[in-house]
Amino acid sequence: MLLTFYKYQGTGNDFIMIDNRTSTFPKGNKPLVAQLCDRRFGIGADGLILLEDDEKVDFNMVYYNSDGNQGSMCGNGGRCLVAFAKFLGIIDKETSFNAVDGLHSAIIEDDTVELKMNNVNEIHAKPNAYFLDTGSPHHVQVVESLENIDVYKEGAKLRYGLYGERGSNINFVEPLDTGTFAVRTYERGVEDETLSCGTGVTAVAIAMHKANRVQDETVDIETKGGKLQVKFLNDKVNVYSNIHLIGPAKQVFKGEIEC
């Protein structure tokens, strides 16, 4: 099969995009997905995303981690898929679409995509950390000297040792200025550090607000791949709502591969 694909990135978090409205992609073929995402023997990406038809909204998002398994919600992937949908002419400036965690809406202006995430109702405090689900499970831990953290080693230790087989994404955070944080993330499914993680950035912003390390409901995040912003509303009890992940999403190239 000759497969046409597009490569997108959002703050360095990169994805293979496939227009699967004709339902031709072999969705159960995990080894194929893993091979396509392999950076030496395939195209190379943190994940693969299928854009499919949906009866009620503009499109449906199907996300695979680079290990070939279907994953939970991917924030940067969702933002890139919105840019892809605009490129295909499916949407203009506003959209709503379905993903594994339910309905999302988004606004796109030039290369900037503002994606509405689902509400966060539970935040669990742990010793020196927080755990919450922003479409994917996330551990958020404040550290010093973020540049010197061995994210692969320490992330894997927490991902498997603390959270078992199901695992969690692991975020290491360092405060920079008032309302700004630097973040490095170990992503399950990729099983390594990625340059950016959208659901992770969202989790960090909410956890830092919950921890009273930031008072504003707009939080700036610096990842290794670039800058993102998270906006939300908080009812001062537990519920975080109207959560928006904002940042760039760009097409890198288009190609064909035999598979």
Q: Which residues are catalytic?
A: 74, 197
Give the residue among 75, 123, 77, 48 at the shortest CA–CA distance from 229: 75
CB 141: neighbour CB atoms within 10 A?
A: 20
Identify the bridge partners of residue 125 per DSSP, sorted by sequence position.
130
- Other Cβ atoms within 10 Å of 100 Cβ, number: 15
Triad 190, 256, 247: Cα angle to 5°: 50
Query: What is the four-CA torsion angle of 110, 22, 43, 1, rounded to 10 degrees?
Result: -150
